[in-house]
Amino acid sequence: MQKYEFTKNKKMVTDCDGVERELTQIVSTKSFQNVHGDFVPSGTLGGWIEQESNLSQDGNSWLNEKSYAFHDSMIAGNAYVENSFLYHESGVEDDSYIYESKLHDKTLVCDNVEVDYSLLYKDTTLSGSCKVENSNLTNVRLLVGSKDTTKWQSCHFENVMLKSDAYLVECESDVFMKDVHLTGRKIKVESPISLERVYGESIERLLVKQELEMSDVLMKEGVNFLVKGNKKTGLIGKLGNEQGKAIVIHSDCILKNSWIHDQVQVHGNWIINSSELSGDAMLKNDSDKTHVLERTRMSELARITATGSFDNAKTVTVELEMDNEYQIQ
């Protein structure tokens, strides 16, 4: 038995190419419960679609009366679309939930993904278990290893804009970012993360709670960069091939319980607590800004160059040989 049929209600909409399309409102012909937990009785008016292929007759997938799906888009499985637009070959499948969002240009959302108040463009794919809200994703691929909804907080983006010529990928709860321009209000990563050729700016808070490995990464001024893990969190810089730099952080930086190794440069306001510095890591502060180093061990070629915050303070440069320890009073 089919779960919906077309009504006689018609509406014209204009797609992103300026083409007008005629949509028809649907009505449910049987009762079922959607993935959001809402009961849809028989006779409920639904959303607006261009053709039957926009909404599968199988499963419990549904779109509400303030949603639109057209131009070869597809809603299938048990997916629920609420107050949203899907067009230009976009798809929502499995147990995903879309709210107050727009998906177009071959975007795919599947498995247990929730998207709220967001724009997804140009071949963006979200799968596994994750949540994206108030975000703008362009050409981004996000794969969260577990499909268990109880684990979806392993990746939570809020007010984030990601643009990439490649993809952002998370596999088995590990995050790999490559060729990404990263901006946004809050970015929270609770799984191991690797960054390659990443440019970050205007981020209110970038929080990393697991091992962080970075190559060719530049964090501009205005980024609040916080690495804080329950166990020792690695900040590992690998020398990049193109620009000759590994990690350069010009922003406010708080590192707690961290291991800082190899090609890492930290400028600006930095606070480093209960950490280890080794390899060619360098901390530099050449202005009257906050710089605090507490309960931290330095070894190999790690060094500090800092200027005090007082007029009579002198610049101090500390360089240590292999396995030497230095305590700042």
pLDDT digits (tens, 9 = 90+) for 1-46: 899 999 999 999 988 788 899 999 999 999 999 887 889 999 999 9
Residue 312 in this model has a pLDDT that exceeds 50: no
Tell me which DSSP letter residue 152 carries: G
What integer pLDDT is reported at residue 60 of this predicted model? 96
Residue 105: phi and psi, rounded to 5, are: 65, 55
> Whole-model pTM?
0.73
% of the chain surpassing 70 pLDDT:
66
Angle at 246 between CA 241 and CA 248, to 5 degrees: 140
**Cβ neighbours of 327 (radius 10 Å):** 9
271-278 long-range CB contacts below 8 Å, 24 or more apart?
Answer: 272/296, 276/232, 277/302, 278/302
Average pLDDT of 48-75? 97
What integer pLDDT is reported at residue 232 of this predicted model? 53
Give the SS3 label for residue 139: coil
What integer pLDDT is reported at residue 327 of this predicted model? 46
Amino acid identity at 235: L
The answer to whether 206 touches 177, Cβ cutoff 8 Å, is no
Amino acid identity at 96: S
Angle at 20 between CA 14 and CA 25, to 5 degrees: 80
**Which of the four pLDDT bands, split at 50, 70 and 90, describes residue 301?**
low
Report the chain's mean pLDDT, rounded to a whole number: 77
Taking CA atoms, 264 is separated from 282, 283, 289, 291, in Å, by 6, 8, 19, 16
**In the chain, where are the structural domains located?**
1-100, 111-191, 196-329
pLDDT digits (tens, 9 = 90+) for 151-176: 444 466 777 777 766 666 655 566 77
